[in-house]
Amino acid sequence: MSTGISPLAPTDIPDMPEIAGVRLATAAAGIRYKGRTDVLLALLDKGTAVAGVFTKSKCPSAPVEWCRTRLKGGRARALVVNSGNANAFTGKTGRQATKLTADVAAKAAGCKASDIYLASTGVIGEPLDATKFNGVLEALSRDAAPDRWMDAARAIMTTDTFPKVATARVKLGKATVTINGIAKGAGMIAPDMATMLSFVFTDAPITATALQSLLKSGVEDTFNAVTIDSDTSTSDTLLAFATGAASARGAPKITRASDPRLKAFAKAFHGVLADLAEQVARDGEGARKLVEVIVEGATSKASARRIAKSIANSPLVKTAIAGEDANWGRVVMAVGKAGEPADRDKLSIYFNGIRVAKSGARDPSYDEAEVSKAMKNDKIQIKTTLGLGKGRDRVLTCDLTKEYVAINGDYRS
């Protein structure tokens, strides 16, 4: 298991403001961990709209299937998240556990089970004993308060070394609205639609349809552009909740994501997602360096994305970064294996702004000492220019260290 807080953890953690219509509570239900909280209940006021994106895994967890089905309603009254057990690959038992959890939560929140959203993270394949939520959720619903954001972020952690929160305030019409987000994720991170788990809340009055569209476009360059180990989780879930409470303060009701009044909000919303996604990369299992991979001059953005992912997922690139070695030969290898258009003799490669290779060969003016110094930074930018077109993309990842192997060599046992 992890041995301390990631050296890449953000140093200034924002004060998380309250969001009208959202109350939170956490508890230690003893799902798996001892001596720490492992269940989060978020109560949402009537009229809260919900949107979600999920893993593209063909073997999704039971809670992912539960949420997908519920999402058609577009309404939410509560969110229950547990850590320690992913309730994934648990067959019929898994479906029964989601049903039981939702029933218990619905009773506690005083709503229908179909208004309950669920997420679970932790070990795959172990049956989740949902009877442990009996009593617990009811107590939490009495206890829930609007200021427990850090507790909420902590309760959903697994191998994370720090809680991940982000917040933004922005004008919507004449009212100021708030966006708060929390996330967890440190390994099995190669989101193909969302990340492990992330939840974003706002008091802005936005319909489920508009929120869904905002979320879908928002993940593309944030959570979907993060990879830690190329392993896509069975449980990736990103849910957004809009309580609409700000309409009482004059915020206009938004029904389309393309509404021009939503522009500033959309930007802030995207900023919260990007902030959380970067924190996931910063907490990559065993990570000592944050790595930003930029690909420019590709034939398209999609092509640039595939090449950037090929670089970001390459064990040889990642171990070289861990060794503080500007091994651009391995970057060439990763470009070459991506299967995308590339002309070796037009390639240039930069490490933290220093050009080490140009026109398909080592840059003759490149100074090894200067590059070696740059590689000691805890943030490394690898930029590759292909010289073929205008396609550009950016992906975040981290280095691959012995600690990653240690953490994952004895996670379950």
Q: What is the Cα–Cα distance from 62 to 127, expressed in whole angstroms? A: 11
Q: What is the Cα–Cα distance from 274 to 221, expressed in whole angstroms? A: 8
SS3 398: strand
Query: Using the rule CB under 8 A, is 355 a contact of a second copy?
Result: no
Which residue among 73, 110, 135, 409 contacts a second copy (CB under 8 A)?
409
φ, ψ for residue 57, nearest 5 deg = -55, 140
Q: Which of 276, 296, 203, 187 is nearest to 242 (CA)?
A: 203
| Positions 259 through 298 that interact with a second copy (CB under 8 A) | none
**Cβ at position 381, least distance to a second copy in Å:** 19
Q: Is 184 annotated as a binding residue?
A: yes
Q: Which of 172, 162, 164 is nearest to 202 (CA)?
A: 172
Q: What is the Cα–Cα distance from 370 to 60, expressed in whole angstroms? A: 47
**Cβ at position 369, least distance to a second copy in Å:** 12
Cβ proximity to a second copy, 246 vs 320, nearer residue: 320
Q: Which stretch binds a second copy (CB under 8 A): 140-148, 178-186, 257-265, 308-316?
A: 308-316
Q: Residues for the chain: how many in total?
A: 413
SS3 319: helix
Cβ proximity to a second copy, 31 vs 170, nearer residue: 31
Pairing, β 78-85 against β 116-123? parallel
Is residue 178 part of the annotated active site? The answer reads: no
Per-residue binding string, a second copy, 195-234, x by CB under 8 A, is ----------------------------------xxxxxx
Query: Using the rule CB under 8 A, is 328 a contact of a second copy?
Result: yes
Which residue among 337, 373, 379, 390 contacts a second copy (CB under 8 A)?
337
Query: Using the rule CB under 8 A, is 412 a contact of a second copy?
Result: yes
Query: What are the angstrom distances between the C-alpha of 396 and each of 136, 222, 286?
Result: 38, 9, 15
Query: Using the rule CB under 8 A, is 145 a contact of a second copy?
Result: no
Q: What is the DSSP string of 22-80?
A: EEEEEE---SS-SSS--EEEEEE-TT-EEEEEE---SS--HHHHHHHHHGGG-B-SEEE
Is residue 375 a contact partner of residue 127, using CB atoms and an 8 Å limit? no
Total residues binding a second copy (CB under 8 A)? 74
Query: Using the rule CB under 8 A, is 320 a contact of a second copy?
Result: yes
Those residues with Cβ within 8 angstroms of residue 133's Cβ, 6 or more apart along the chain or in another chain: 29, 39, 80, 82, 100, 101, 104, 105
Q: Is 296 annotated as a binding residue?
A: no
Q: Is 134 annotated as a binding residue?
A: no
Which residue among 156, 334, 382, 395 contacts a second copy (CB under 8 A)?
334
Q: Is 384 annotated as a binding residue?
A: no
Exactly one of 55, 101, 161, 195 is catalytic; name it: 195
Burial (CB < 10 A; 0-12, 13-18, 19+), residue 353, is exposed
Query: Using the rule CB under 8 A, is 413 a contact of a second copy?
Result: yes
Query: Using the rule CB under 8 A, is 7 a contact of a second copy?
Result: no
**Cβ at position 200, least distance to a second copy in Å:** 24
Is residue 114 a contact partner of residue 107, using CB atoms and an 8 Å limit? no
Q: Which stretch binds a second copy (CB under 8 A): 169-177, 252-260, 291-299, 403-411?
A: 403-411
Q: Is 195 annotated as a binding residue?
A: yes
Q: Is 48 annotated as a binding residue?
A: no
Per-residue binding string, a second copy, 85-114, x by CB under 8 A, is -x-xxxxxxx--------------------
Is residue 180 a contact partner of residue 201, using CB atoms and an 8 Å limit? yes
| Positions 34 through 73 that interact with a second copy (CB under 8 A) | 55-60
Which residue among 125, 146, 252, 387 contacts a second copy (CB under 8 A)?
125
Cβ proximity to a second copy, 247 vs 327, nearer residue: 327
Known binding-site residues equal 158, 184, 195, 285, 408, 413
State the catalytic residues: 195
